[in-house]
């Protein structure tokens, strides 16, 4: 109660959508300004000060609209817009104990990979491990490092790295949601590696495992379906390909690959 009264005194009352940062000694109610090194700058009333991120035991911050806009831009293939959005979010909130702040860093790294900025992506993922060492996603973060290897035309090294991550995880009886998401990402990459080596059947098996067993993320499920559909099409199994493509157009109309799927459907209906 003493902490709450102090927060009310500093701000003149709790404003709607105010950020709440609780440390070991006090509850600050105001606005997060930005992350500065290992601290976060907070504005309370007319005053600004910095508190260590390591001292924060709880943070309540409404997810900014810019997060969903940046995610939508990334899914639509508008990588420069997504880069700007996620970079701004990370600069302001990166390191705070907020699920969407964690995801913002991971998404920033993914956008950097898409833009071939591998040095920047590695720096981003390295910072994630430093900022969130206890995150369950750290255990599968190597999937993103493996993706960088693949995109730099090192599929064999990427496959070895991702296989080393997947094998022990797939033997577990219990997986966290983040770990399941990481497995889905890893299986897609493994499928890409198989496809690069000319093993379409093994690639298809990896993609379909995501669709049937680890469909926890729309992004990964959609990507796996898209890649599986193209393999079915190449194998002249048009019935399966058509089913998958129609599901993609129906369920993921704003994703970057949707226009390509529509063209494939139209070509078969002519």
Could you report the per-residue pLDDT of 172-224, keeping only the tens digit for each?
999 988 899 999 999 999 999 999 999 999 999 999 999 999 999 999 999 99
Residue 5 has pLDDT above 70, yes or no: no
CATH of 2-60, picked from 2.30.30, 3.90.1690, 1.10.3470, 3.90.25, is 2.30.30
> CA–CA separation, 101 vs 39, rounded Å?
15
Q: What is the mean pLDDT of the chain?
A: 91
Helices (H), the chain: 2-11, 65-75, 79-93, 99-114, 118-131, 142-151, 155-170, 177-196, 200-213, 218-234, 238-251, 258-269
Domain ranges of the chain: 2-60, 166-270
CB distance 162 to 146 below 8 Å:
yes
Q: Considering the chain, what percentage of its residues have pLDDT values greater than 90?
A: 81
- Looking at the domain covering 166-270, what would its CATH class be? mainly alpha
Q: Please give the full DSSP string across 163-225, using - where no structure is assigned.
A: HHHHHHHHT-S---HHHHHHHHHHHHHHHHHHHHTT-HHHHHHHHHHHHHH-TT-HHHHHHHH
**Residue 270: its pLDDT value, please?**
57
Going by their DSSP bridges, the two strands 47-52 and 56-60 should be labelled as unpaired
DSSP letter assigned to residue 138: G
CA–chain centroid gap for 10, Å, is 36
> CA–CA separation, 86 vs 135, rounded Å?
19
Question: How many other β-carbons are positioned within 10 Å of the β-carbon of residue 150?
Answer: 21
N-terminal to C-terminal alpha carbon distance within the chain: 71
> CA–CA separation, 157 vs 15, rounded Å?
52
Question: How many other β-carbons are positioned within 10 Å of the β-carbon of residue 161?
Answer: 22
Could you report the per-residue pLDDT of 122-150, keeping only the tens digit for each?
999 999 999 999 998 887 899 999 999 99
Going by their DSSP bridges, the two strands 39-44 and 47-52 should be labelled as antiparallel
CB distance 150 to 163 below 8 Å:
no
Q: Residues near 204 by Cβ (< 8 Å), separated by ≥ 6?
A: 191, 228, 231, 232
**Residue 140: its pLDDT value, please?**
82
Q: Which of 178, 241, 185, 176 is nearest to 209 (CA)?
A: 185
Going from the C-alpha of 151 to that of each of 113, 118, 147, 159, 235, the distances in angstroms are: 8, 9, 6, 12, 25
Q: Considering the chain, what percentage of its residues have pLDDT values greater than 70?
A: 94
Question: How many other β-carbons are positioned within 10 Å of the β-carbon of residue 241?
Answer: 22
State pTM to two decimals: 0.88
């Amino acid at each position: 109660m003493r902490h709450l009264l102090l927060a009310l005194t500093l701000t003149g009352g709790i404003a709607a959508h105010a950020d709440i940062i609780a440390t070991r000694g006090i509850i600050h109610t105001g606005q997060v300004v930005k992350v500065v090194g290992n601290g976060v700058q907070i504005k309370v009333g007319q005053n600004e000060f910095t508190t260590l991120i390591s001292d924060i035991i709880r943070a309540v911050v409404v997810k900014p609209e810019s997060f969903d806009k940046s995610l939508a831009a990334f899914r639509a293939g508008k990588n420069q817009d997504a880069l700007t959005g996620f970079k701004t979010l990370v600069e302001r909130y990166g390191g705070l104990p907020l699920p969407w702040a964690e995801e913002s860093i991971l998404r920033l790294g993914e956008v950097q990979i898409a833009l071939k900025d591998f040095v920047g992506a590695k720096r981003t993922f390295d910072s994630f491990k430093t900022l969130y060492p206890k995150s369950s996603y750290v255990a599968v973060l190597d999937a993103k490092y493996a993706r960088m290897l693949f995109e730099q035309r090192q599929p064999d090294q990427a496959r070895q790295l991702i296989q080393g991550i997947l094998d022990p995880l797939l033997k577990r009886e219990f997986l966290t949601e983040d770990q399941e998401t990481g497995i889905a990402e890893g299986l897609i990459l493994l499928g890409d590696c198989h496809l690069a080596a000319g093993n379409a059947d093994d690639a298809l098996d990896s993609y379909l495992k995501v669709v049937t067993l680890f469909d926890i993320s729309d992004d990964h499920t959609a990507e796996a379906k898209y890649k599986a559909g193209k393999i079915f099409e190449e194998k002249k199994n048009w019935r399966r390909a058509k089913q998958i493509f129609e599901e993609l157009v129906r369920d993921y109309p704003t994703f970057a690959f949707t226009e390509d799927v529509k063209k494939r459907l139209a070509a078969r209906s002519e």
